[in-house]
């Protein structure tokens, strides 16, 4: 595979935007992507809107979606998100890893 040129990299990134979580309207897209990712990984579990809403609408000191969630959009469509994982019971130090979900965008090729 050839390394893309700077111009090719700029073209690939055109339309990519990162933004904070915008509230309840984002939940359906987060759910769609998380469940598609689980299906692609052949995981039997699926999330539902009600359980996702419970987590996202009840902020705590450990998780506040407006502070902790970043959404990625490509050409205006939500394609990924990232947030810190839920803290483990009894953990003495905060987790510094990030949990993400992503959807391979379908973008027309020229």
Q: What is the mean pLDDT of the chain?
A: 81
Q: Is 7 a member of any domain?
A: no
- Examine residue 2 and state whether it is found in any structural domain, yes or no: no
Show Cβ contacts of residue 81 under 8 Å, excluding neighbours closer than 6 positions: 21, 26, 30, 33, 69, 70, 71, 72, 100, 101, 102
pLDDT digits (tens, 9 = 90+) for 11-56: 878 889 999 999 999 999 999 998 988 888 899 999 999 999 998 9
Residue 15: helix, strand or coil by DSSP? coil
pLDDT at 17: 93
Please check whether residue 15 lies inside any domain of the structure: no
Per the structure, the complete domain to which residue 52 belongs is given by: 21-83+95-102
Would residue 68 count as lying in a domain? yes
Task: Please answer whether residues 66 and 52 qualify as being in contact, where contact means their C-beta atoms are separated by less than 8 angstroms.
Answer: no
Q: Is the pTM of this model over 0.75?
A: no
Q: How many domains does the chain have?
A: 1
User: Looking at the domain assignment, is residue 25 inside a domain?
Assistant: yes
């Amino acid at each position: 595979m050839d390394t893309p040129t700077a111009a090719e990299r700029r073209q690939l990134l055109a339309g990519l935007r990162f933004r904070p979580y915008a509230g309840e309207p984002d939940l359906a897209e987060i759910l769609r992507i998380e469940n598609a990712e689980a299906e692609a990984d052949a995981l039997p579990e699926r999330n539902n809107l009600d359980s996702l809403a419970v987590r996202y609408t009840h902020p705590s000191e450990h998780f506040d979606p407006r502070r902790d969630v970043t959404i990625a959009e490509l050409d205006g469509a939500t394609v990924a998100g990232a947030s810190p994982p839920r803290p483990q019971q009894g953990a003495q130090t905060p987790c510094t890893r990030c949990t993400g979900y992503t959807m391979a965008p379908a973008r027309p090729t020229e």
